[in-house]
Structure 1
């Protein structure tokens, strides 16, 4: 189930350009794609998937597999709404695996079986193991959100593994990427719980959970419920983001609608009804939680400040609202990463 919706590709460049170049793509190549793209959905010259895939193919021919994986990652962005996008994801996986020998860190791709609406679903996950990690050391499960997925965020996850000494289990949240289950509050969290359980079998130490953007929703829930030993919420929605009067920017309305499993663009009432199930107010009202780090940019157009500040004053919880940056503090990612590394290594009470 998937759908197209009206979306100006140049608006996505306005928001995502820092992420595109910040993850490693040469600015000149991103500028070239930006100049060439005029249509979001056409699989033809000047179409988003076509132009990004052309760039990915160029990198692949040159043996630059990591860059090819990044380019194909943008080709399938922001959602798998058609066959061309799904094909781009397949090519991204292929190029990512070809790049793996040069990661500089032990890598394994494996499957985790998880419950999905009374059935079972196989969830592909990536294990990133730093030098010196032992089976008594902690494991960090980590995900992005509704449009930036585990391969797109590889550089961040590998950096965290090396700098903290934690083994990282990277995955796509339900409704996205390679996780073939719709985004939802309860059944979706069942998938995440299965990943937490799997992480506990990978070593004898504690399990931490990092969630970015919509992935932060699941990290907030696991941390508030005490189902992990530590949780980091980077730019995650928890309560006010699910209000009926919330606004959507930069195509996020259609991105979320696709992740939820709609097969056509939902009405405001349909989207409001589905999103209202996600509020974490029940969990926020409980005086319990694992140690938590909650952070975001103060100028986020997607997540209200209240969804970060609501954690102020909670037990074992550090809160940071970084000034002069937006969603997930992407333009200050080195600062946000330093905060996460310091907290994981010195504050998480392992």
Structure 2
């Protein structure tokens, strides 16, 4: 199920422009696309998916498959609400695999079949590993959030793979990307991730870390709080206050989250609140079962209140960093954040 909703594309650029350039797209190309786009949903000149796909097509024709994958990633952004968006995702997958020959890491693509809500579902994963990495290296599970998915985080994940020498297994959350055929739920998503953890434990030396960005950080906070992984990194994830009743969502998040949760039309604030309230992690925060955790976010996040980072202060085996002068997931200060992530992960896993 999916739906479109009234969305001014200029608002999305206000928030996501820093991420677009930080993750590798040339600034002048982003500026040109931003100037050309006048509408969110039409697959026609001036439409979001059309203009981003046209840029991606130019990259692909020039053999710049890495940039084509990034641009198709923004063509399908922020959710697979219609057929042109789904087509853009399919082309992103194609371009990403073409680019893989030039990755500085070894790359494999697999489709896992995992348990989900009394049945089984397919979850495509990408495996990234430093060249020559031993088979018994630790594994880091990694995902983005509701609108930034595994291929969109490529440069970040490559950095983690090379600098930690852990094998990265990247996946899309339920309700998003290549796992959008099942809705995002607090229990169904957890079941899929527990299946991924079980697969990861068989892959390397048995050690498994979990890195989650944005909504992915919600799930890594969950695995960290329950102690089912050996290390958990929550970068910008909501855990409690973000799910409070009556909170308004910014920059189209009501439509983005509504699609991820499986609604077939824009939910009312009450419907969205009812669906999201089930994700609250207070019951786990009240327990003392957590494994080693690293919790980071920007101090000026418009989506996730500071409480959801600071609530981890004082927990055992937990490091908390609230980065000043930056917003959601501290994306404008990644050169400052990623060394913290890498050093903490290496120390925690003793690698």
Band the TM-score falls in, shorter-chain normalisation: over 0.9
State the match for 1:165 in structure 2: 165
Can you list the C-alpha shifts for 1:50-82, whole angstroms capped at 9, x where unaligned? 000000000000000000000000000000000
How far, CA to CA, are the matches of 2:123 and 2:349 in structure 1? 28
State the match for 2:251 in structure 1: 250
How far, CA to CA, are the matches of 2:140 and 2:73 in structure 1? 23
SS of the equivalent of 2:122 reads strand
Whether the 8 Å contact between 1:131 and 1:165 is mirrored in structure 2 is: no
Can you list the C-alpha shifts for 1:144-178, whole angstroms capped at 9, x where unaligned? 00000000001100110000111000000110000
After TM superposition, list the pairs within 5 Å mapping 1:220-299 onto structure 2. Answer: 220-299=221-300
How far, CA to CA, are the matches of 1:132 and 1:100 in structure 2? 16
State the match for 1:67 in structure 2: 67
How far, CA to CA, are the matches of 2:114 and 2:267 in structure 1? 28
State the match for 2:77 in structure 1: 77
Going from structure 1 to structure 2, the CA distance change for 1:152 and 1:275 (only over 3 Å counts) comes to same
Task: Quote how far apart the aligned CAs of 1:349 are.
Answer: 5.5
The count of aligned residue pairs is 350
Can you list the C-alpha shifts for 1:121-148, whole angstroms capped at 9, x where unaligned? 1100000011342233210000000000
Please tell me the root mean square deviation across aligned C-alpha atoms, in Å.
0.9
How far, CA to CA, are the matches of 1:183 and 1:115 in structure 2? 14
State the match for 1:51 in structure 2: 51
SS of the equivalent of 2:330 reads helix
State the match for 1:42 in structure 2: 42
After TM superposition, list the pairs within 5 Å mapping 1:1-350 onto structure 2. Answer: 1-179=1-179, 180-348=181-349
SS of the equivalent of 1:194 reads helix
Whether the 8 Å contact between 2:225 and 2:284 is mirrored in structure 1 is: yes
Whether the 8 Å contact between 2:246 and 2:269 is mirrored in structure 1 is: no
SS of the equivalent of 2:146 reads coil
Task: Quote how far apart the aligned CAs of 1:348 are.
Answer: 4.6
Whether the 8 Å contact between 1:291 and 1:348 is mirrored in structure 2 is: no
Q: Which runs of 5+ in 1 are unaligned?
A: none
Task: Quote how far apart the aligned CAs of 1:203 are.
Answer: 1.0
SS of the equivalent of 1:178 reads helix
Task: Quote how far apart the aligned CAs of 1:335 are.
Answer: 0.8
SS of the equivalent of 1:208 reads strand
How far, CA to CA, are the matches of 1:124 and 1:266 in structure 2? 28
Whether the 8 Å contact between 1:132 and 1:165 is mirrored in structure 2 is: no
Q: Which runs of 5+ in 2 are unaligned?
A: none
Whether the 8 Å contact between 2:200 and 2:206 is mirrored in structure 1 is: no
Displaced runs of 4 or more, over 4 A: none
TM-score (normalised: structure 1): 0.98
